[in-house]
Structure 1
Amino acid sequence: MTERPLRATVSLRGVLFGPGGEVLVVRRTTDEGWELPGGRLGAEEDADEGVAREIAEETGLDVELGQPVHAVAWRNDDDNGRFGVYYYCTVTERAVSLSDEHIEYEWLAPSTAETRLSGPQGEAVSNATEVREE
């Protein structure tokens, strides 16, 4: 049994594959780090609806939502609990309209996106790529 149970904010993100098989990554306004689009789940919000809403708010894209490909829990630098779920997603267009939360986006080959992102997000891209190839 865990000594200290995790109380966590839930973060939902999508590994978005474009029509040519590229993966969308976005650059945060706050620290200019790269990440997958998505965000926090609202109280009493359905997870599928939450991730689709967050992606639409951040990118303007309407996603075809697939299965979860990765889930991970951690504590951030401030010792706050986080729980992230990453979904396999596809989109039919590449025209992105960024929200104020991001300053830049790129469509990258999956292997390039995997290395650009942090550990759990890179792992999510790797897992989503395997799902895509099935």
Structure 2
Amino acid sequence: MTERPLRATVSLRGVLFAPDGDVLVVQRTSDEGWELPGGRLGAQEDANEGVKREIVEETGLDVNLGQPVHALAWRNDDDNGRFGVYYYATVTERTVSLSHEHVGYEWLSPRKAERRLSGPQGDAVSNAREVHDE
């Protein structure tokens, strides 16, 4: 049992595979860091619908959502609780229309995407790659 239960915002992200096997990474406006597309789940929102909504809002891409491939809980630099779930997903096109939250994007090989992203997001790409290669 934990000493202090985690009260957390839920973050849902997709590991989006293009038809050629590349993975989409997006560059944040706030600090120009790289991440997978997605965002926070709203109150009373279905998780699958929430991650699809966030991906469409941020990229304009219609996704075929698959299974979760990674999940973890943490506290951010401000000591706020976070719970993240990363989903395997595929898209049929590579034309991205970014929201104001991002300033750039790249389609990278899964291995390059793993290296570009932070630990948990890189782990999610690695896990999704295994699903994609099945």
Which residue of structure 2 aligns with residue 123 of structure 1? 123
Letter in 2 for 1:30: S
CA distance in 1, matches of 2:111, 2:13: 18
Which residue of structure 1 aligns with residue 4 of structure 2? 4
Per-residue deviation, residues 56-75 of structure 1 (Å, max 9, x unmatched): 00000000000000001000
How many matched pairs? 134
Does 2:82 correspond to 1:85?
A: no
Structure 1 unaligned residues grouped into runs of 5+: none
SS in 1 for 2:62: coil
Per-residue deviation, residues 61-109 of structure 1 (Å, max 9, x unmatched): 0000000000010000000000000000000000000000000000000
Percent of paired sites with the same residue = 82
> Please, what TM-score do these two structures have when normalized by structure 2?
1.00
Per-residue deviation, residues 26-80 of structure 1 (Å, max 9, x unmatched): 0000000000000000000000000000000000000000000000100000000
Letter in 2 for 1:105: Y
SS in 2 for 1:44: coil
RMSD of aligned residue pairs (Cα, Å): 0.3
SS in 2 for 1:62: coil
Which residue of structure 2 aligns with residue 50 of structure 1? 50
Letter in 1 for 2:32: E
- After TM superposition, the runs of 4+ consecutive aligned structure 1 residues lying more than 3 A away are none
Does 2:24 correspond to 1:24?
A: yes
